[in-house]
Amino acid sequence: MASKVVVVVDNSNVFIEGQKFSAKMKDIVKQNPNDRDPQDPSWRIDFGKLLLAVSNGRTVERAILVGSRPPQNDTVWQAAQNHGFSVTVHDRNSMNEEKAVDTELVAQTTEIICTTTEVMDLAILSGDRDFIPLVSVAHRRHWMVEMWAFKNAYNPAGQMAMEVDSIKPLDDIFNEISTYAYSYP
């Protein structure tokens, strides 16, 4: 383990899967087998505690969070910035689909890896396969790569899980990183 870490967060991935995990922890179940997995709309990420848990005693060289534009009154981006994250937000497309988030994270992090001479650790907070090229770049530069994701968000035998050096389930630190906006249900 290096003494420094770069932390990159796919906000939507962590947030949506965290809401699903919270619903599961509260025993909220599907009403119909064809329904989507239930989500706990009250669940929020405590960004300071998330960064503390993921850094695990290492110095955070950079913390990057990328997401898609929420409602204008959403304070998530300011909360992340207040805890040391560099935040980039992209607008959703006309179909309300998230675009450019993974690419933005890969581009920013590749630039960091390729312009620094110091070998560090990379913590990717997402189980998304779109980060495999980033893992390859990090490995070519001798960085160790951790994948932090909720267990239901990745396949342990999948390509992303097989490419990283270690998998850190967010399920294991869920209580540490959780906060709630209101009581639900």
Q: Which domain holds residue 124?
A: 4-180
Q: Other CB atoms closer than 10 Å to residue 104's CB: what's the count?
A: 18
For 76-126, how does the pLDDT look when each residue is reduced to its tens digit (9 = 90+)?
888 999 999 999 988 888 777 777 899 999 999 999 999 999 999 999 999
Q: Which two tokens stand for residue 72?
A: 């204008």
At 61, is the secondary structure helix, strand, or coil? strand
75 within a domain of the structure (yes/no): yes
For 24-42, how does the pLDDT look when each residue is reduced to its tens digit (9 = 90+)?
999 999 999 999 999 999 9
185 within a domain of the structure (yes/no): no
Cα three-residue angle 97-100-102, rounded to 5 degrees? 105
What ranges make up the beta strands (E) of 116-160?
A: 121-125, 144-149
Q: What is the CATH number of the domain that holds 128?
A: 3.40.50.1010
Q: Which residue has the tokens 């955070």?
A: 60
67 within a domain of the structure (yes/no): yes
Structural domain count, the chain? 1
Q: Which two tokens stand for residue 164?
A: 């990283």
Taking phi over 0 as left and psi of -120 to 50 as alpha, with beta for the rest, 29 belongs to beta
89 within a domain of the structure (yes/no): yes
Q: What percentage of the chain carries pLDDT values higher than 70?
A: 98
- Cα–Cα nearest to 184, from 3, 10, 37, 27: 27
